[in-house]
Amino acid sequence: MTRQEFIKMCGLLGISIPFQSVLTSYKSSEETSKSNFKGNVLIIGAGAAGLTAGHLLRQKGIEFQILEASSVYGGRMKRTLDFVDFPIPLGGEWLHVEKGVLSEIINDPSVPINVKTKPYDMDVDYALYEGEEVYLKDIGFKIDQKFINSSWFDFFEQYVVPSVQNNILFNAVVKSIDYSKDKIFVNTSNGEFTADKIIITTPVKLLQTGSIAFTPQLPEHKREAINDVTVWDGFKAFIEFSEKFYPAAIGFDIGSDRDGEKLYYDAAYGQNSNRHVLGLFTVGSGTLPYRELSDKELIEYMLNELDEIFDNKASSNYIKHTSQNWNKEPFAKGAYVYNYENWRRVRTLGKSVSDKLYFAGTSYTTGEDWGSVHTAARSAIRAVNEIT
């Protein structure tokens, strides 16, 4: 990545979407309260898409159950409260669109939304790129916001999970889906289930490994899209320091931005906290120096590269660290579909099959945008609207 490419990046902190337009057809809350569908729905996965789908189905009075492979909900919105005095998002972190998307997800104008976010100050905040200062306003940084003493996970836990938590079955790893008959049969590690419709939010990386057997096979164009799409590796880390010696972000030249991204950033930006936390976000080739290291090797590597930039201030101010390797998460196996994927391929991933199988999640969109929490939620809205 050249400096010019860095300056033109659509979103410095997080995910550079291929198209800024997120114009997708959504029904109003009044419309989504109406449904002629009388069957039941199984939702595979309790991440952002699965939780959103269940929430909307609950509002419509439609019978549903969520099958979650792990022992917790949230998927790649994972966060920890045990590191410092504000939530640390180990997965999806930034709000990449306007806050109105939160209202779309809740879908109830009577519910007051008490979620605070902070945009970056493009006239004050700056980044370092290969040792050179660049202002955020110079790199097209216009929309991204940080949650204040909250996270995507906390938003869902407060506003969405209460309506679906009694309908989540944990430790239910889906083995096979038979949609050859009128009813759909789903075999899991925690029993067998039947449904009239299924919303599949399984990360596409798992479908690539053949973790779910479909009867009949998925259509050829669907299988090709699943197998051909590129999923980036993903790794995040957070380091607490005794003082702040770094800017809002530190970018690096790791080659073509089509290969990956790597940046350090002020993870405590805007938080009501006196703690100093520097985050590391890497995807694709940017993860290579980190993801196979032991914990001891990891912190030594990170402190060494930060010491080179900041005159040994990293090592002298280090307190503790934590990390998240998404490649090693058994029900994720990676981060998200890479930014420059063919949009038609992504659109194919998002299309339903035989009016029975519906797909939702960061990879299963209309092809205009993908890879973010809000795209996962919006794809779930689309899937529910198609069913009902």
Quick one: which H or E segment has residue 126?
A: strand 126-129
Query: Residue 302 has which token pair?
Result: 């990170």
Say how many C-beta atoms besides its own lie within 10 A of residue 220's C-beta.
8
**Contact residues for 282 (Cβ-Cβ < 8 A; gap 6+):** 234, 235, 236, 260, 261, 262, 263, 290
Q: 367 — phi, psi (to 5°)?
A: 95, 0
Task: Reply yes or no on whether the pLDDT at 33 is more than 80.
Answer: no
Strand order in the sheet with 260-266: 132-135, 126-129, 249-251, 260-266, 276-284, 234-241, 318-325
Say how many C-beta atoms besides its own lie within 10 A of residue 28's C-beta.
9
- Residue 162: DSSP 8-state: G
Task: Reply yes or no on whether the pLDDT at 135 is more than 50.
Answer: yes
Q: Which of 84, 55, 154 is nearest to 381 (CA)?
A: 55
The mean pLDDT value of the chain amounts to: 90
Q: pTM for the complete prediction?
A: 0.90
pLDDT tens digit sequence for 34-66 = 678 999 999 999 999 999 999 999 999 999 999
Task: Reply yes or no on whether the pLDDT at 203 is more than 70.
Answer: yes
Q: Which band of pLDDT confidence, cut at 50, 70 and 90, is reported for residue 89?
A: very high
Q: Which band of pLDDT confidence, cut at 50, 70 and 90, is reported for residue 137?
A: low
48 versus 248: the higher-pLDDT residue is 48
**What's the whole-number mean pLDDT along residues 166-187?**
98
Burial class from Cβ neighbours inside 10 Å (0-12, 13-18, 19+) for residue 114 reads: exposed
Domain positions in the chain: 19-80+101-113+148-230+339-387
Domain 19-80+101-113+148-230+339-387 part of CATH 3.50.50.60: yes
Q: How much of the chain, in percent, has pLDDT values that exceed 70?
A: 89
**Cβ 290 vs Cβ 301: under 8 Å:** yes
pLDDT at 136: 67
Task: Reply yes or no on whether the pLDDT at 27 is more than 60.
Answer: no
**What's the whole-number mean pLDDT along residues 106-119?**
96
